[in-house]
A and B are shown apart, each in its own frame.
Chain A
Amino acid sequence: MSKRIDGINLLVCSFLMTITLALVLGSLVYDGKQRLVALVIGFPTIGMLAFLMLASLIPPLLAYLRPLGVSEDDAPEAESEGSANNLNTGTWRRVAIVYGWLIGYYVLTFVFGYYVATPVFLVAFLTRESGLTLMRSLGVMVVSLVPFYVIFRLILDIPLWPGVLPRILPGILGGGSIPQLN
């Protein structure tokens, strides 16, 4: 087992601890039984996360979790030695690129809505990342979006987000029919 401090594990556990503490402390303002569920589930979770954070700093402690069923068997990634820390610069770059695409797709969807953002995102991704030619990307986009449209709009009748532009430019882009920004 690695003797190094497991930075990613510590980061993830700290994040989960923040969320758990917020939920458990938030539940304390309620009276009686309403807060019971959060407390019953919350305190063991806090205890386990605190132990995991400690184990990130002192890795041999992880062995004590085995009798609780938390073992390397449950976590395929954790099987190889130090795999949690072996993300090299290239991998981080790849993760950043993929995540950038997701953020870009979201921003595009938020502003222009699904009907504009989805074809643009598909063609851009297929051309830039998948290595297809522009014509092929366009073809794949058209063929694949037809079932999407049939399923979500015609069969399920789900109104898709039209973007904030119709809200900013009402009248021009049909701003009267857009759903509320919740």
Chain B
Amino acid sequence: MEVFQYKAILLRGSIIGTVIGAVPGAGGAVANFLSYSTAKQASKTPELFGTGYPGGVVASESANDAKDGGILLPTLTFGIPGNGEMVILMAAFILHGIQPGRDLLVNRLDIVWAIILGVIAAQILTTFVILGAGAWLAKISLVPVKYIAPFVAVLSFIGVYAVRSNIWDVLLAVFAALVGFFMRRAGFPLITLVIGFVLGHLAEEKFTQSLQISQGDYTIFFTRPVSILLLIGIFSMLGWTAYKSIRMATSDKKVGA
């Protein structure tokens, strides 16, 4: 029940998750990171984020769960699948002769309601599973690192190999571990690196896709309602961060003087 101590973060994360989920192609990772970074920016104690602070967990997980509802929106209403799972859902619809979009919402509302109830039932079931197993799962964090480390290494080695069945990828991962160690030592924030890795290729892909849609016209990034809203959001967040940092630096100077 500790989660309800972070009502504002929970609400914000849920809204971000739903909205981002409704944007085709953005996916859960974007919702997670956006919610996390927004919660960190808005927090009075941002230094606690990244140290196991429950607020950070609530921020990313609330967005992650909320995006499942949002992601159904473009699939069911416009027939635009937001991610891989929605593509499979759409394929199943089409196999059964159901066309997502207006036809589905007008003539087959029973299916829409079944999906909505299914999502709700899944959330409730997951809650019970986690409430039942959570206490046991949490005990893993109490196991000393010297016992956990070899299993993490084995899991990482197999996991990396499983992606492309390429043994050289594993060597690259071993090298990346060394680079990661030095980056941590040099004080590089982990979350920024992860965001770059996860969102980097998405940004590139969507950038090129947008240019293809506009036939090479760059004004698509400034003239479309969604893109202009996103740009306003980005610059607002950057501006807010800069404002907070400058204010913090100024107050530090005053305290120092």
- Within 8 Å by CB of B157, from A69, A87, A109, A129, lies A109
Which residues of B are found within 8 Å of A51, using beta-carbon distances? none
Contacting residues of chain B (118-152) with chain A, CB-CB under 8 angstroms: 146-147, 149-151
Q: Quick one: which of B50, B154, B246 contacts A67, CB cutoff 8 A?
A: B246
Give the shortest distance, in Å, between A122 (CB) and chain B (any CB): 5
| Contact size range, B | 35 or more
Are B182 and A11 neighbours in the complex by a CB distance under 8 Å? Answer: yes
Q: Residues 147-182 of chain A: 1 if any B CB is under 8 Å from the residue's CB, otherwise 0?
A: 010001000101111000000000000000001011
Contact with A along B142-177 (1 / 0, CB 8 A): 000011011101110110011011111011001001
Instruction: Check: B6 CB closer than 8 A to any chain A CB.
Output: no
Contact B162 A158 (CB under 8 A): yes
The residue that B189 contacts in the complex, of A75, A109, A110, A121, with Cβ under 8 A, is A75
| Any B CB within 8 A of the CB of A134 | no
Residues of B within 8 A of A79 (CB): 47
Q: Are B185 and A160 in contact, with the CB atoms below 8 A? A: no
Residues A95 and B181 in contact, CB atoms below 8 Å apart: yes
Contact B245 A102 (CB under 8 A): no
Known A83-B187, A95-B181, A102-B177; contact A126-B211, beta-carbon cutoff 8 A:
no
List residues of chain A with CB within 8 A of the CB of B182. 8, 11-12, 15
Closest to A158 in B: B162
Residue contact A102 to B186, C-beta cutoff 8 Å:
no
Contacting pair B187 A78 (CB below 8 A)? yes
Q: Is the Cβ of B162 less than 8 Å from the Cβ of A144?
A: no
| Secondary structure call for the B interface | helix
B248 interface hit (Cβ, 8 Å): yes
Tell me the minimal C-beta distance from A63 to chain B in angstroms. Answer: 7
Asked if B108 CB lies within 8 Å of chain A CBs, one says: no
Query: Is there an interface contact between B181 and A77, defined as CB atoms closer than 8 Å?
Result: no
Chain A residues, CB < 8 A from B2: none
Q: Which residue of B lies closest to A69 (CB)?
A: B241
The reply to whether A102 and B174 form a contact with Cβ atoms under 8 Å apart is yes
- B177 and A12: CB pair below 8 A? no
**Which chain A residue lies CB-closest to B151?**
A144
Which of A68, A105, A131, A148 contacts B153 (CB under 8 A)?
A105
Complex CA–CA separation, A158 to B167 (angstroms) = 13
Q: Among B149, B181, B207, which residue has its beta carbon within 8 angstroms of that of A125?
A: B149
The B-contacting residues of A in range 104-136, CB under 8 angstroms, are: 105-106, 109-110, 114, 118, 121-122, 125-126, 129-131
Q: Decide yes or no whether B183 CB sits under 8 A from chain A.
A: yes
Contact yes or no, A98 B187, CB < 8 A: no
A73 located at the interface, meaning its Cβ lies under 8 Å from any Cβ of chain B in the complex: yes
Cα distance, A36 to B211, chains bound together (Å): 11
The B-contacting residues of A in range 34-77, CB under 8 angstroms, are 36-37, 41, 63, 66-69, 71-77
Contact B150 A121 (CB under 8 A): yes
List, sorted by A's number, 24 A–B pairs whose CB atoms are closer than 8 Å. Answer: A8-B186, A12-B179, A12-B188, A37-B204, A69-B242, A74-B191, A77-B184, A79-B47, A83-B187, A98-B149, A101-B150, A102-B153, A109-B157, A114-B158, A114-B161, A118-B158, A125-B150, A126-B150, A129-B149, A148-B155, A158-B158, A158-B161, A160-B158, A161-B165
Q: Which residues does B use to contact A, with CB under 8 Å?
A: 46-47, 50-51, 146-147, 149-151, 153-155, 157-158, 161-162, 164-168, 170-171, 174, 177-179, 181-189, 191-192, 200, 203-204, 207-208, 211, 216, 238, 241-242, 245-246, 248-249
Given contacts A69-B238, A114-B158, 16 further A-B contacts (CB under 8 A): A36-B207, A37-B203, A66-B249, A67-B245, A69-B245, A71-B248, A75-B187, A75-B189, A84-B186, A101-B150, A102-B153, A125-B153, A148-B154, A148-B155, A160-B158, A161-B167
